[in-house]
Amino acid sequence: MKKRLFCVLMMTMLLCGCGEEETHQKQKHSSTAATTAAAAAEEATTAPQEAAESVTTAADTAAAENTDTETATAADQSAETTDAAYESAGSHVNLDTNDLFAGQFFDENSDLTMVLDNIGNGYKVNISCKVSDTQIDHWYLTGQFDGRAVLHYNNCSKYIVTLDENGMTSSTDTVYTNGTGYIAISERGADDTGYVWSDDVDNAGSGAFFKK
């Protein structure tokens, strides 16, 4: 009888142990499956985000490159426009023009020479005088003629150029800048027209009458 009870108890313990092990294995399997499913879900969620971030980065890069290209193109166009403007302004400088104000004029009473160039929005004037074989004085100024054919200026610069024995420039000295005065068309008769020059600094144009 005791042996039977012992056998029954042993069988019961074995069955309980198998049940617990099976339950543990099922729980372990369920936990592993849940972990795998969570990882798969996270991977599925991360993949679209990474793809979206990749697309956004590519779009930003393309936009930046496009902006750089447009900026460079605008700069090139601006440079071309500036070059064209300089060429247009330079095309007005012509001593053989029909412009009545422009040309080369000589003083009847001295070695003064006056050259006027049309620069589009006014005139560039260079007055020079050969003082000796080794010295030439220059006056440079710009301005516009008014309705009375008078060019008032306040930006005259005077330079003394010294020449060497070969007639080459050895030095250039600035005498003054921002000199004032005016140049005007003057008539001494019906057919006798020329320029007079009034220099406020050292009266260099006193008595001068410039004609072509």
176 & 82 share domain: no
User: How many CB atoms are located within 10 Å of the residue 165 CB?
Assistant: 8
113 & 85 share domain: no
73 & 159 share domain: no
**What is the pLDDT, as a whole number, of residue 77?**
45
Share of the chain above pLDDT 90, in %: 50
In a domain, 96, yes or no: no
Instruction: Indicate whether 21 pLDDT > 90.
Output: no
**What is the pLDDT, as a whole number, of residue 4?**
53
Rounded Cα distance between 113 and 127, Å, is: 6
167 & 109 share domain: yes
39 & 115 share domain: no
Q: What is the pLDDT of residues 88-132, one digit of tens each?
A: 333 334 444 578 899 999 999 999 999 999 999 999 999 999 999
> Which structural domain, as residue segments, surrounds residue 52?
1-91
- More confident: 56 or 186: 186
**What is the pLDDT, as a whole number, of residue 26?**
45
Q: CA 24 from chain center: how many Å?
A: 78
Q: With CA atoms as reference, report the closest residue to 115 among 140, 152, 98.
A: 140
Instruction: Indicate whether 71 pLDDT > 50.
Output: no
Round the average pLDDT of the chain to a whole number and report it: 73
**What is the pLDDT, as a whole number, of residue 24?**
45
83 & 115 share domain: no
**What is the pLDDT, as a whole number, of residue 37?**
44
Q: How sure is the predictor about 13, in pLDDT bands with cuts at 50, 70 and 90? A: low
Q: How sure is the predictor about 33, in pLDDT bands with cuts at 50, 70 and 90? A: very low
Host H or E run for residue 131: strand 123-132
Q: With CA atoms as reference, report the closest residue to 153 among 130, 133, 123.
A: 123
- Total of domains in the chain: 2
Q: How sure is the predictor about 190, in pLDDT bands with cuts at 50, 70 and 90? A: confident
Instruction: Indicate whether 165 pLDDT > 70.
Output: yes
